[in-house]
């Protein structure tokens, strides 16, 4: 296949900082990195591989002229990672979250549609919210529980409406990421628990959550899924769940304890906890040939190894 120049927005974040190093060399010849430094992860730009051409644009998706960027750099595909991503704190900045995550996406998507350039959009499995049973992409009772998840669902719905207008895109509902990268963040479940364990901080866990499953995604699997889509030009307007495995809190704590046996856990009551259970099926992307290979133990072990010198 012809190698493309890929525009990666939000390129310096947790996912982007791994993707821009491990992007498929079959699909990508050059990468244009766009980030507004909201997350201040300059470190993500250190020591990039020498075999790919990079160009960094310090720019905001709310104001960038995407029409000019797409034509000036002859972009062949867009991986749109830029977003405000701290779901737990999104309630305090709901308007800004919508501005960036929905209106920003619309600006990127409109430029892609006009230039006939395919768009990868990462949504989240948290659009499922509380579910009684295992769910797949056919689920119509979506229950996003935060402004962040609401913004992602609204973006999905916007993209679905653009299919008829000729936009080529794919939506991947990513499980919660675990695993190390240069631009790693620690505010999602596995990473946060691992960070606390490394620092000797006891974990507080809701009793009702202990045996409830949620979908998790190894960062390596996430990048492989993006590469899988780029290599196959799988911009079919569909939604795919991307999940390494569904795990209970008990399993996550057990995996961390394997590396940090001194980890203390206390259990508290929470009346709202059953809202957070969702067990997600990824058969649809597997049927296309994508098989995740990640492993919770390895992901946690890698993170612990990176921080072993500060371990309590
Ligand atoms: N990490 C996860 O667990 C997870 C799960 C599901 C979906 N996703 C989605 O994947 C994408 C990447 O996630 P991540 O974990 O790498 O997030 P991240 O927060 O680590 O990175 C996001 C990047 O976007 C940049 N950014 C924020 N606002 C911007 C703006 N207005 N203009 C330009 N850049 C901006 C930030 O500076 C940051 O570098 C996001 O869209 C997120 O919603 C992530």
User: What spacing in Å lies between the alpha carbon of 170 and ligand 1's midpoint?
Assistant: 17
State the chain's mean pLDDT as an integer.
Answer: 95
- Residues lining ligand 1, judged by CB closer than 6 Å? 9-10, 12-16, 35-39, 41, 60-62, 81-85, 100, 104, 122, 124, 174, 176-177, 183, 185, 188
Q: Hey, what are 122's tokens? A: 């990462």
| 29 & 169 share domain | yes
| 45 & 160 share domain | yes
Res 1: pLDDT: 75
130, pLDDT greater than 90: no
Q: Hey, what are 243's tokens? A: 């999940």
Q: What is the pLDDT of residues 93-113, one digit of tens each?
A: 999 999 999 999 999 999 999
Q: What is the pLDDT of residues 216-227, one digit of tens each?
A: 999 999 999 999
| pTM given for the model | 0.97
Residue 287: inside a domain, yes or no? no
Domain boundaries, position 91: 4-177+216-245
Query: Are 240 and 171 contacting, i.e. CB atoms less than 8 angstroms apart?
Result: yes
Q: Give the mean model confidence (pLDDT) for residues 157-163.
A: 98
Residue 284: inside a domain, yes or no? no
| 128 & 187 share domain | no
Q: What is the pLDDT of residues 243-296, one digit of tens each?
A: 999 999 999 999 999 999 999 999 888 655 445 678 999 999 999 999 999 999
| 115 & 105 share domain | yes
Contacts 24+ apart (CB under 8 A), 257-260: 257/197, 258/297, 258/300, 259/197, 259/300, 259/301, 259/304, 260/197, 260/198, 260/304, 260/311
89, pLDDT greater than 60: yes
Instruction: Tell me whether residue 89 is exposed, middle or buried, using C-beta atoms within 10 angstroms of its C-beta: 0 to 12, 13 to 18, 19 or more.
Output: middle
| 168 & 300 share domain | no
Res 276: pLDDT: 61
* Separation between Cα atoms, residue 73 and residue 71, nearest integer Å: 6
| 169 & 232 share domain | yes
Q: What element of type H or E holds 121? A: strand 119-124
Res 312: pLDDT: 78
Q: How many domains is the chain partitioned into structurally?
A: 2
Res 272: pLDDT: 53
């Amino acid at each position: 296949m012809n190698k493309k120049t890929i525009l990666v927005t939000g390129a310096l974040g947790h996912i982007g900082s791994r993707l821009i190093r491990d992007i498929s060399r079959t699909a990508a010849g050059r990468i244009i990195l766009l980030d507004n430094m909201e997350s201040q992860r300059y470190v993500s730009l250190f020591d990039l591989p020498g075999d790919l051409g990079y160009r960094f644009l310090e720019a905001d998706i709310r104001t960038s002229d995407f029409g000019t960027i797409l034509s000036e750099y002859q972009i062949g595909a867009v991986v749109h990672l830029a977003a405000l991503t701290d779901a737990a704190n999104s309630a305090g900045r709901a308007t800004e979250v919508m501005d960036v995550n929905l209106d920003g996406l619309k600006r990127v998507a409109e430029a892609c549609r006009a230039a006939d350039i395919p768009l990868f959009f990462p949504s989240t499995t948290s659009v499922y919210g509380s579910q009684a049973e295992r769910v797949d992409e056919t689920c119509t009772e979506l229950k996003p529980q935060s402004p962040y998840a609401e913004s992602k669902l609204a973006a999905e719905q916007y993209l679905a409406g653009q299919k008829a207008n000729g936009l080529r895109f794919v939506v991947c509902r990513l499980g919660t990421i675990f695993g190390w990268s240069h631009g790693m963040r620690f505010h999602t479940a596995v990473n946060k628990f691992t960070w606390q364990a490394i620092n000797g901080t006891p974990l507080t866990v809701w009793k009702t959550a202990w045996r409830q499953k949620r979908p998790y995604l190894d960062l390596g699997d996430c990048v492989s899924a993006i590469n899988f889509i780029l290599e196959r030009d799988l911009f079919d307007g569909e939604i795919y769940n991307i999940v390494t495995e569904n795990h209970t809190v008990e399993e996550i704590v057990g995996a961390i304890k394997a590396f940090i046996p001194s980890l203390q856990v206390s259990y508290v009551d929470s009346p709202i906890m059953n809202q957070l259970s969702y067990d997600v099926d990824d058969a649809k992307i597997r049927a296309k040939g994508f098989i995740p290979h990640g492993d919770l133990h390895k992901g946690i072990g890698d993170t612990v190894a990176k921080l072993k010198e500060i371990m309590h």
